[in-house]
C-alpha cells in the first residue's frame, strides 16, 4: 500500500511539473520599434506648466472638463475624461513638471494581455490604439500597465477603455497630436522616433548641466515611443524604474514555453488517457480492501 | 457497505432554503442594478484596483473551490484509488456548480459583456493573453463537468428519452464510474470515449488553474516580490489540488451533519497523508523559490507583507501537521478543522496575489463595497441552494448507507442491471 502511495505521489508530481514548470521556456526575441515609428518628446526643462496641452487634448478628443474646484479644469490624474495631465513636483523650492499620458511602449503590456486585441499596436506608426468593438471590458490592461495608463469609464453602463492614442485621427491626416501642436515652449515635440532621440541627445549635449544623462523611454521597459528628458531624476518625477526588459517578456516566455506548439498539453492529455485506459484494464487497487456486504 | 448513490429525497423548500432564497434575491437585485447603472455605482473598484471581490472570490477562489472534482478524479482515475469512488459524484457536482457560477461572476464583472461572444471567434484570439486561455479553458471545463455529471442527473429519470441512447450506445452511465456494484466494476463499463472525456476533464483544470497564477505574472511592478515569481502557475496548481481535497472533506462532513447521514470518516481519514503531502509540496516550492530568488530575508522583515506571508504560510503548515499527527484514526471534527484551515490558506493565498499584495501605487486603495459583498453572498446562496436541491432529487451522495434489503429494488433497474 505504501509503495502504491509513493508511486502515486510520484505520478502526481510528474503531471504537475509537466503542466506548469516553466523551466525550459525559451526567451522570446526582443522587439524593436517599427521603422516608421512616431514619437513624442517631452522636455521637462522647457515645460512651464501652462496646461495648454491639456486643454487642447480635451478639445481634440472631445473630453469633458474635470474639476474638483468648480473653477478651473483641474484633473488630479489621468481618468476616463483625461488623457494627459501635467503634474507638478516641488522639491527644495524648485518646481518640475512631468507629462502623464500613454507611453506607447514598443512592446506593450496592455496589448500583450488583451484577449481579443482591442488594444493593439499599429504596424505603421507603432501607436497603441483601441478598438472598443473588440473590448469585453475585462480591465486586464489596467492590471498589466506599469504606468497605470488605461482608464475605465466606471460611471457608464456601457463603458470603454480610455487612453491617449496619440491623436491618431489627426496624425493619420499628416497633422500633429493636439498637445504637440499647441505647446508654446516646444516642450512637446512630435516626430519620428529616431529623429526625436537625436533631437533629445542634441538638447542634452548643448546643455549637459541642464539635464540628467538619460532619456526616459529610450530603453526603459523595452523602450517607449513617448520620450522624456529632465533636469531631475525620473524617479523623483514619479516614473517607475523599469529595466530594459519589456514588461510582457516574463509572462509570454512562460506561457509560450508551457504551451509551445500545444505539445505539453497534448502530451499530458495523451498520458492521462493512457493511464486511465491501463487502470481500466487492471481494475481498481482499492478493491481488496472493500468488503462488499 | 454499498457504494450506490441515492437521492436524499425530502422537502426542498425548507426554512434555511428560504433564507438562502432571500439572500439570493437581494444579490440578484444588486446584479440588476449593476447592469443598469454600471460598475462604478455598484462596486468600489477603481483604475488602480480594476479587479476586486468578484474576480478574486467568485472566479479565482470559486474555481479553486471547484477543484474537488479535479482532485478526486486524479485520485480515483489516475492514481487508481477505487475506494474513494463514492466521493467523486458529490465532488463533480460542487465543481460543476462552482465553475458555472464563476462564469456568472465573470459576466457581472466585465464591462462590455455584450462583446463576450466574440471570445468564441478563433480569428480574434490574442494567443499572448493568459486570460484568454483561462476563459476558454474554464468554459470548456464547465461543459465537460456537466457531461460528467449528466449520468447522475439522468439516472432514474426513465421518462427522459436521451438517457437510454446515452447509456446503451455510449456507455455513458459510467461517466463517474456510474453505479458500480463494487469498486472493481468501476472501469469495465466505461467506454473508451468516456475515458478520453475524463482525461479532458483533468487536462483543462491543470491548464487553467495554473494559468490563473500566470495571470498576475505581467504585474511585475505591482505584485509584491514575495508573491511575484515565475512559479506562480505551479503554486496555483498545487494549492488548488489541496483546496479540492479540503472541499471534499468539508462538504462530506457538512452534508453528513446537515442531512443526518453517517459520515465517510474512515474514507476521508485515508486522505490525510496525500493532502499533507500536497501541502508540504506547496510550502517546499514556495520557500525554495524565495531562496532561489534571494528574497527569503524579506519574510522576516515583519512589515505588512512579511506578516501576511507568515500568516499564509502558517495556515498551510498547521493543517498539514494536524493531518499527519492523527493520520491513523482521525475523527470527523479533526478532519473538518484541518479542511477549513486548508481552505482558508488557499483563499488567503489567492487574495494575496490578486488583491492584498497587489499595489498599483500609493494613490489607490480598495475595499469591497457592501453591494459587491451582497452579490457574492447571493452567488454563494445560489450555489448552496442548487447543491441542496440536486442532492435531494438526484443520486449524488452515497457509499455510506448500509445496503438494506430492498433498497436496490426501490431504486430501480439501473442499479441492479
Sequence-distant (≥ 6) Cβ neighbours of residue B314 within 8 angstroms: none
pLDDT in tens, chain A (293 residues): 444 544 554 555 555 554 444 444 456 778 899 999 999 999 999 999 999 999 999 999 999 988 777 778 889 899 999 999 999 998 888 899 999 999 999 999 999 999 999 999 999 999 999 999 999 999 999 999 999 999 999 999 999 999 999 999 999 999 999 999 999 999 999 999 999 999 999 999 999 999 999 999 999 999 999 999 999 999 999 999 999 999 999 999 999 888 888 899 999 999 999 999 988 888 755 444 443 33
Q: In the prediction, which pLDDT does B193 show?
A: 83
Report the SS3 class of residue B387: helix
Q: What's the full length of chain B, in residues?
A: 417
What does residue B238 show for φ and ψ, rounded to 5 degrees? -65, -45
Element (H, E) at A251: helix A248-259
Best mutation target, A247, A282, A284, to test chain B (most B CBs within 10 A): A284
Joined together, the cell numbers standing for residue A247 give 514588461
Enumerate the residues of chain B whose CB falls inside 8 A of the CB of residue A275: 77-78
Sequence-distant (≥ 6) Cβ neighbours of residue B135 within 8 angstroms: A115, B106, B119
Best mutation target, B220, B237, B262, B281, to test chain A (most A CBs within 10 A): B220
**CA-CA distances (angstroms) from residue B153 to B161, B163, B202, B413?**
13, 10, 21, 16
CB A91, CB A113: distance < 8 Å: no
Selecting from A20, A151, A284 the residue whose C-beta is nearest the C-beta of B210 gives A20
Are B126 and A146 an interchain contact pair (Cβ–Cβ within 8 Å)? no
Classify strands A128-130 and A119-121 as parallel, antiparallel or unpaired. Answer: antiparallel
Q: Does A8 touch chain B (CB under 8 A)?
A: yes
Task: Count CA within 13 A, CB hemisphere, residue A12.
Answer: 26
CA B88, CA A216: separation in Å to the nearest integer? Answer: 57
Q: Which residue of B has its CA nearest to A248?
A: B218
Place of cell 471581490: B53
CA B180, CA B194: separation in Å to the nearest integer? Answer: 15
pLDDT per residue as tens digits for the range A24-55: 445 677 889 999 999 999 999 999 999 999 99
Q: Does B128 touch chain A (CB under 8 A)?
A: yes
Q: Is B355 exposed, middle or buried (0-12, 13-18, 19+ CB in 10 A)?
A: buried
CA B326, CA B272: separation in Å to the nearest integer? Answer: 8
Q: Which residue of A has its CA nearest to B73?
A: A276
CA distance to partner chain B, nearest, from residue A19 (Å): 7
Are B203 and A286 an interchain contact pair (Cβ–Cβ within 8 Å)? no
Q: In the prediction, which pLDDT does A39 show?
A: 97
Element (H, E) at B31: helix B15-37
Strands (E), chain A: 38-43, 85-91, 94-100, 119-121, 128-130, 151-152, 161-162, 188-192, 226-229
Joined together, the cell numbers standing for residue B53 give 471581490
CA B184, CA B82: separation in Å to the nearest integer? Answer: 7
CA B257, CA B333: separation in Å to the nearest integer? Answer: 11
CB B164, CB A230: distance < 8 Å: no
Q: Does B50 touch chain A (CB under 8 A)?
A: yes
CB A217, CB A223: distance < 8 Å: yes
Q: In the prediction, which pLDDT does B160 show?
A: 53
Nearest alpha carbon to residue A66 among A50, A48, A84: A84
Give me Rg for the CA atoms of chain B: 22
Place of cell 468648480: A70
Enumerate the residues of chain A whose CB falls inside 8 A of the CB of residue B81: 8, 284-286
Are B131 and A138 an interchain contact pair (Cβ–Cβ within 8 Å)? yes
CA A279, CA B115: separation in Å to the nearest integer? Answer: 44
Q: With left for phi above 0 and alpha for psi between -120 and 50, is residue B177 left, alpha or beta?
A: left
Are A22 and B230 an interchain contact pair (Cβ–Cβ within 8 Å)? yes
Selecting from B118, B199, B363 the residue whose C-beta is nearest the C-beta of A272 gives B199
Element (H, E) at B398: strand B397-398
Are B112 and A240 an interchain contact pair (Cβ–Cβ within 8 Å)? no
Joined together, the cell numbers standing for residue B374 give 451582497
> Which residues between 82 and 121 in chain A have a beta carbon less than 8 angstroms from any beta carbon of chain B?
109, 111-117
CA B163, CA B400: separation in Å to the nearest integer? Answer: 26
What does residue A99 show for φ and ψ, rounded to 5 degrees? -95, 125
Are B112 and A116 an interchain contact pair (Cβ–Cβ within 8 Å)? no
**CA-CA distances (angstroms) from residue B402 to A215, A293, B134, B331, B392?**
78, 8, 43, 20, 18
Nearest alpha carbon to residue B321 among B279, B365, B363, B362: B279
Joined together, the cell numbers standing for residue A175 give 497633422
Q: What's the full length of chain A, in residues?
A: 293
Are A114 and B41 an interchain contact pair (Cβ–Cβ within 8 Å)? no
Sequence-distant (≥ 6) Cβ neighbours of residue A98 within 8 angstroms: A42, A44, A86, A87, A89, A228, A230, A237, A238, A239
Q: In the prediction, which pLDDT does A74 show?
A: 85
Q: In the prediction, which pLDDT does A145 show?
A: 97
Are B210 and A252 an interchain contact pair (Cβ–Cβ within 8 Å)? no
Enumerate the residues of chain A whose CB falls inside 8 A of the CB of residue B237: 16, 19-20
Task: Count CA within 13 A, CB hemisphere, residue B15.
Answer: 0
Q: Does A13 touch chain B (CB under 8 A)?
A: yes
CA A85, CA A78: separation in Å to the nearest integer? Answer: 6
Enumerate the residues of chain A whose CB falls inside 8 A of the CB of residue B72: none
For residue A82, the cross-strand partners are A79
Sequence-distant (≥ 6) Cβ neighbours of residue B278 within 8 angstroms: A12, B238, B241, B242, B245
Q: Is A232 exposed, middle or buried (0-12, 13-18, 19+ CB in 10 A)?
A: middle
Give me the DSSP letters along A43-87. Answer: ETTT-----HHHHHHHHHHT-----SSSSS---SS-BTTBS-EEE
Are B79 and A268 an interchain contact pair (Cβ–Cβ within 8 Å)? no
**CA-CA distances (angstroms) from residue B171 to B175, B180, B194?**
8, 13, 8
Q: In the prediction, which pLDDT does A24 show?
A: 45
Q: In the prediction, which pLDDT does B188 show?
A: 45
Joined together, the cell numbers standing for residue A17 give 511539473
The DSSP output letter for B215 is G
Give me the DSSP letters along B249-289. Answer: HHHHHHHHHHTT----HHHHHTTHHHHHHHHHHHHHHHHHH
CA distance to partner chain B, nearest, from residue A5 (Å): 8
Element (H, E) at B5: strand B5-6
**CA-CA distances (angstroms) from residue B57 to A203, B33, B62, B346, B355?**
52, 20, 6, 11, 10
Are B84 and A286 an interchain contact pair (Cβ–Cβ within 8 Å)? yes
pLDDT in tens, chain B (417 residues): 445 778 888 888 899 999 999 999 999 999 999 999 999 999 999 999 999 999 999 999 999 999 999 999 998 889 888 888 888 889 999 999 999 999 999 999 999 999 999 999 999 999 999 999 999 999 999 999 999 888 888 776 655 545 455 554 444 444 444 444 333 344 445 678 888 999 999 999 999 999 999 999 999 999 999 999 999 999 999 999 999 999 998 888 888 888 877 777 888 888 888 899 999 999 999 999 999 999 999 999 989 999 999 999 999 999 999 999 876 777 888 889 999 999 999 999 999 999 999 999 988 999 999 999 999 999 999 999 999 999 998 888 874 444 333 333 333 323 332
Amino acid at each position: 500500500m505504501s509503495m502504491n502511495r509513493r508511486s502515486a505521489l510520484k505520478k502526481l508530481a510528474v503531471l504537475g511539473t509537466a503542466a506548469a514548470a516553466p523551466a525550459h521556456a525559451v526567451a522570446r526575441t526582443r522587439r524593436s520599434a517599427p521603422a516608421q515609428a512616431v514619437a513624442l518628446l517631452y522636455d521637462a526643462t522647457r515645460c512651464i506648466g501652462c496646461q495648454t496641452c491639456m486643454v487642447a487634448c480635451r478639445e481634440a478628443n472631445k473630453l469633458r472638463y474635470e474639476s474638483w474646484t468648480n473653477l478651473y479644469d483641474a484633473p488630479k490624474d489621468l481618468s476616463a475624461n483625461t488623457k494627459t495631465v501635467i503634474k507638478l513636483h516641488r522639491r527644495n523650492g524648485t518646481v518640475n513638471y512631468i507629462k502623464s499620458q500613454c507611453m506607447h511602449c514598443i512592446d506593450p503590456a496592455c496589448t500583450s494581455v488583451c484577449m481579443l486585441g482591442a488594444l493593439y499596436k499599429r504596424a505603421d506608426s507603432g501607436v497603441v490604439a483601441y478598438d472598443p468593438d473588440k473590448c469585453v471590458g475585462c480591465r486586464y490592461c489596467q492590471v498589466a500597465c506599469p504606468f497605470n495608463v488605461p482608464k475605465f469609464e466606471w460611471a457608464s453602463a456601457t463603458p470603454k477603455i480610455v487612453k491617449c492614442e496619440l491623436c491618431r485621427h489627426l496624425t493619420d491626416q499628416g497633422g500633429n497630436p493636439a498637445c504637440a501642436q499647441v505647446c508654446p515652449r516646444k516642450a512637446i515635440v512630435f516626430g519620428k522616433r529616431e529623429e526625436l532621440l537625436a533631437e533629445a541627445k542634441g538638447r542634452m549635449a548643448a546643455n549637459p548641466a541642464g539635464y540628467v544623462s538619460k532619456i526616459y523611454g529610450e530603453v526603459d521597459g523595452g523602450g517607449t515611443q513617448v520620450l522624456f528628458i529632465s533636469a531631475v531624476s525620473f524617479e523623483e518625477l514619479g516614473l517607475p524604474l523599469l529595466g530594459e526588459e519589456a514588461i510582457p517578456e516574463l509572462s509570454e516566455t512562460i506561457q509560450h514555453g508551457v504551451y509551445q506548439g500545444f505539445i505539453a498539453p497534448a502530451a499530458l492529455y495523451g498520458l492521462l488517457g493512457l493511464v486511465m485506459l491501463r487502470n481500466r484494464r487492471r481494475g481498481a487497487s482499492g478493491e481488496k480492501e472493500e468488503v462488499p456486504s | 457497505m454499498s457504494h450506490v448513490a441515492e437521492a436524499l429525497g425530502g422537502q426542498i423548500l425548507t426554512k434555511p432554503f428560504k433564507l438562502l432564497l432571500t439572500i439570493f434575491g437581494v444579490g440578484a437585485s444588486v446584479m440588476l442594478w449593476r447592469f443598469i447603472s454600471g460598475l462604478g455605482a455598484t462596486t468600489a473598484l477603481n483604475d488602480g484596483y480594476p479587479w476586486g471581490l468578484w474576480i478574486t472570490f467568485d472566479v479565482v477562489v470559486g474555481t479553486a473551490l471547484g477543484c474537488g472534482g479535479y482532485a478526486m478524479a486524479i485520485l480515483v482515475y489516475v492514481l487508481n484509488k477505487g475506494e474513494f469512488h463514492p466521493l467523486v459524484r458529490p465532488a463533480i457536482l460542487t465543481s460543476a456548480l462552482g465553475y458555472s457560477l464563476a462564469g456568472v461572476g465573470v459576466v457581472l464583472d466585465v464591462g462590455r459583456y455584450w462583446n463576450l461572444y466574440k471570445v468564441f471567434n478563433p480569428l480574434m484570439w490574442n494567443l499572448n493573453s493568459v486570460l484568454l486561455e483561462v476563459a476558454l479553458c474554464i468554459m470548456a471545463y464547465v461543459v465537460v463537468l456537466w457531461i460528467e455529471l449528466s449520468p447522475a442527473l439522468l439516472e432514474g429519470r426513465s421518462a427522459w428519452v436521451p438517457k437510454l441512447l446515452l447509456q446503451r450506445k455510449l456507455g455513458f452511465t459510467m461517466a463517474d464510474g456510474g453505479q458500480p456494484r463494487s469498486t472493481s466494476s468501476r472501469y469495465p463499463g466505461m467506454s473508451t470515449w468516456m475515458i478520453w472525456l475524463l482525461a479532458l476533464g483533468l487536462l483543462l483544470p491543470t491548464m487553467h488553474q495554473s494559468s490563473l497564477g500566470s495571470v498576475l505574472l505581467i504585474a511585475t511592478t505591482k505584485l509584491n516580490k514575495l508573491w511575484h515569481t515565475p512559479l506562480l502557475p505551479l503554486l496555483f496548481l498545487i494549492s488548488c489540488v489541496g483546496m479540492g481535497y479540503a472541499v471534499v472533506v468539508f462538504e462530506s462532513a457538512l452534508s453528513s451533519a446537515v442531512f443526518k447521514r453517517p459520515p465517510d470518516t474512515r474514507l476521508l481519514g485515508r486522505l490525510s497523508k496525500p493532502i499533507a503531502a500536497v501541502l508540504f509540496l506547496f510550502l517546499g516550492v514556495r520557500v525554495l523559490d524565495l531562496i532561489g530568488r534571494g528574497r527569503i530575508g524579506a519574510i522576516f522583515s515583519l512589515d505588512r507583507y512579511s506578516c501576511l506571508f507568515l500568516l499564509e504560510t502558517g495556515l498551510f503548515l498547521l493543517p498539514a501537521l494536524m493531518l499527519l499527527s492523527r493520520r491513523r484514526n482521525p475523527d470527523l471534527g479533526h478532519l473538518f478543522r484541518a479542511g477549513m484551515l486548508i481552505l482558508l490558506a488557499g483563499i488567503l493565498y489567492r487574495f494575496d496575489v490578486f488583491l492584498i499584495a497587489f499595489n498599483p501605487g500609493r494613490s489607490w486603495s480598495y475595499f469591497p463595497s457592501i453591494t459587491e459583498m451582497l452579490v457574492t453572498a447571493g452567488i454563494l446562496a445560489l450555489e448552496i441552494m442548487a447543491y441542496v436541491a440536486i442532492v435531494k432529487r438526484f443520486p449524488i451522495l452515497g457509499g455510506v448507507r448500509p445496503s438494506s434489503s430492498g433498497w436496490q429494488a426501490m431504486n430501480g433497474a439501473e442499479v441492479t442491471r
